[in-house]
Amino acid sequence: MRLRLTPREDSFYDMFADSANNLVTGARLLVELISDGADRAAIAEKMRACEHAGDECTHAIMRRLNETFITPFDREDIYRLASTIDDVMDEMEEAADLVALYEIDEFPAGIVDMVEVLERAAELTAEAMPRLRSMKELNEYWIEINRLENQGDQVYRKLLAKLFSGDYDTLTVLKLKQVIDRLEDAADAFEHVANTVETIAVKES
């Protein structure tokens, strides 16, 4: 593979911004997915396209990483950041796919709160990526993502309590729990992205 013996390659910043903006698209599709009267199969298809776009962003970053000699920050951190962003998209897409496959039409009320956590985390992540250039004003980002993840944990536990309350039949519980688990995993993955950004910022400070 040819190495670029040129000054530091800064296109990674734009690529991370594109990847994070794709998370916002995915999170907003989740909002549509759980709305009353939504065409869940069609939205799940849009989510698959969004996931494929995310994969393309990740592959582009990896290709650039392999071609670049001098990177804006540690190579392993570039790899980790790209991978953790990709993980978020994977979890959201899997949740949407399960909703469509299981033909779920009704959700516990608390699922709206969980999806709102993901939407806000996506917006904050997209806002943070351009700030990687200066490594400034990032601490509020990872602090807020941590708070949102804790909020998501609380919502998740309440959702589980609702599922196991006896209001749902066993099969419905199994279906809904798989979806809710994926949403919780997405919230955790957002925190992993923020933790990676914090690591990068500390190293570069």
CA dist 10 and 68 (Å) reads: 10
Buried b (16+ CB within 10 A) or exposed e, 78-95: bebbbbbbbbbbbbbbbb
Q: Mean pLDDT of residues grouped by 10 in the chain (205 residues)?
A: 49 95 98 95 98 97 91 93 98 98 94 97 97 92 97 97 94 97 98 97 87
Residue 44: both structure tokens together = 């799940």
Q: Which domain holds residue 149?
A: 10-204
Does residue 192 belong to any structural domain of this protein? yes
From 23, 134, 15, 143, select the one nearest 79 (Cα to Cα). 15
pLDDT value, residue 1? 40
Q: What is the CATH number of the domain that holds 106?
A: 1.20.58.220
DSSP conformational letter for 1: -
Number of domains in the chain: 1
Does residue 55 belong to any structural domain of this protein? yes
pLDDT value, residue 8? 57
CA 91 to chain centre: 7
pLDDT value, residue 205? 77
Does residue 5 belong to any structural domain of this protein? no
Backbone angle region of 135, left / alpha / beta, with phi > 0 → left and psi within -120 to 50 → alpha: left
SS (H, E, C) 72-121: CCCHHHHHHHHHHHHHHHHHHHHHHHHHHHCCCCCCCCCHHHHHHHHHHH
Does residue 119 belong to any structural domain of this protein? yes
- Cα maximum dimension of the chain: 64
pLDDT value, residue 9? 66
Does residue 122 belong to any structural domain of this protein? yes
Does residue 4 belong to any structural domain of this protein? no
Does residue 1 belong to any structural domain of this protein? no
Does residue 3 belong to any structural domain of this protein? no
